[in-house]
Amino acid sequence: MSSVPKSHVFPPPLDRRYRLEDGRVRTRSLEAHIVDHCNLTCAECCSLSPLLPPWCADPQELERDVRRCASVLSPAVFKLVGGEPLLHPGLLEILQRVRRTAIAPVISLTTNGLLLGEMPDAFWSALDALTISRYPRPRLSAQLIAQIESRAAQFHVRLNWKMQDQFVHMSRDPSSAGIDETQRVFHDCWIRERCHMVRGGVFYTCTRPPHLHTLHRGRINFSGDGVRLHGGPGLREELLTYLQRDEPLQACFHCRGGNAAMQPHRLLRRAQIEAQRAAYE
């Protein structure tokens, strides 16, 4: 595999004029990252998982946040993501709680697939769709792939196999980020329409701010990068204004956006992870 970064294939232009549907803002998707840790250590993991301490979402708090979102947002799909979401010990409870909020017609989960062979019937019957990221290393065995396809067919779960042999090189040193360049990155970034996220009572237009907040141990304040889900009147208008803003996020000064160059997938070794973590001590 070439080590030369390849240019990214840009997704089609996005419509940023959000429309209302039954009084709620129609969106592509909403996601919750229910664990920060993972059983892999991918470099350029957009959730920054290898660099973050282990963390699990509280199912009750997540349900409260998703309910507040459901009062003003109408995403086409709700996604459970991580880290590796199959590592959450209360995953089945989360699936049940999210389902009863009626946030979206489709409940999906994004996984690296390594643990899917261990999942019980209750897991498969609680899902509508699964996205399985496939990396060059470690490869899923043919036996596990066949097992996943069989279980998905049995429980009518839609499978989306996503080959991920390249990752977007998103992280950047904020000292190299001027306002004009950051403005451009934010303007061109397709992730801000596709990866809406709820975390800790806040709605974010992308997944970077809460993870950068954890990475920097709160020493840089990214809390202004989202909208607090207060559940009171005016929330829908606050979200609409936020989603259509021109001003970049604080997180954008630390990010190259979704259109950045690609790099081949690789796993970080423990020493590399420790060296990177040490930079944030």
Task: Please name which of 111, 113, 125 lies closest in space to residue 157, comparing C-alpha atoms.
Answer: 125
DSSP lists the bridge partners of residue 161 as 132
Minimum gap (Å) between residue 86 Cβ and ligand SF4: 11
Report the helix count and the strand count for the chain, using DSSP H and E: 9, 11
Q: Is 210 in the site for ligand SF4 (CB under 6 A)?
A: no
Q: State how far the Cα of 111 lies from the Cα of 134, in Å rounded to an integer.
A: 9
- Residue 246's φ and ψ, nearest 5 degrees, are -100, -20
List the interface residues with ligand SF4, window 44-63 (CB under 6 A): 45, 47, 49-50
Over the window 102 to 141, marking each residue x when it contacts ligand SF4 by CB under 6 A and - when it does not, the resulting string is ----------x--------------------x--------
Return the structure tokens found at 216: 């920097």
Q: With contacts defined by CB under 6 A, name the span among 39-47, 98-106, 115-123, 136-144 that binds ligand SF4.
A: 39-47
**Count of chain residues binding ligand SF4 (CB under 6 A):** 26
66 lines the binding site for ligand SF4 (CB under 6 A):
no
Site for ligand SF4 in 237-256 (CB under 6 A): 249, 251-252, 255
Is 257 a binder of ligand SF4 (CB under 6 A)? yes
Rounded to an integer, what distance in angstroms lies between the CA atom of residue 31 and that of residue 77? 8
Binding flag, residue 186, ligand SF4 (CB under 6 A): yes
Strands 166-168 and 262-264: antiparallel
| Separation of alpha carbons 131 and 106, rounded Å | 12
In whole angstroms, give the CA distance from residue 34 to residue 56. Answer: 6
Residues binding ligand SF4 (CB under 6 A)? 38, 40-42, 45, 47, 49-50, 82-84, 112, 133, 185-186, 189, 191-192, 206, 208, 249, 251-252, 255, 257-258
